[in-house]
Amino acid sequence: MLVRDAMSTVVLTIGPTHTLRQAARLMAARRVGAAVVLDGDAEGMGILTERDVLTSVGTGQDPDRETAGAHTTTDVVFAAPGWTLEEAAEAMSHGGFRHLIVMDGRGPVGIVSVRDIIRCWAPARRERGALVG
């Protein structure tokens, strides 16, 4: 199975000046665990995850004052739609993160998470177990 089969095509994009509260509100409304942070000035993109927001709030920072840009991971590993789920899982495991931005030639086309991969693998395991058992 490929990344394109598992990824969410709901790509939330925010700017680096969004507050963490604004980012969290948007992520919750769209039921996603990560947002792509686009910074036109820096000509790059990064990712802000629910864990980044949780870490900030958990350390006592004010989510109405902290910006997405201050908590964005900019050293991002990107996946291609044609990667296998094994390749995506290996990249996540090696990098210690749970989300990959999926890019094609035009830009971000999706996000794949550990949850997406498990959702795809679990039925396949059940089916193999039913056939074998």
User: Between 20-30 and 50-58, two packed helices, what is the crossing angle to 10 degrees?
Assistant: 140
Is residue 20 within 8 Å of residue 71, measured between CB atoms?
A: yes
- For position 106, what pLDDT does the model report? 84
| pLDDT tens sequence across 1-12 | 999 999 999 899
pLDDT bin (cut points 50, 70, 90) of residue 127 is: low
Q: To which residue do tokens 């090696």 refer?
A: 94
DSSP assignment of 80-109, as one string? Answer: -TTSBHHHHHHHHHHHT-SEEEEEETTEEE
The string of pLDDT tens digits covering residues 32-89 is 999 999 987 766 899 999 999 999 999 999 999 999 999 999 999 999 999 999 999 9
Which of the 8 DSSP states describes residue 130? Answer: H
Question: For the whole model, what pTM was predicted?
Answer: 0.85
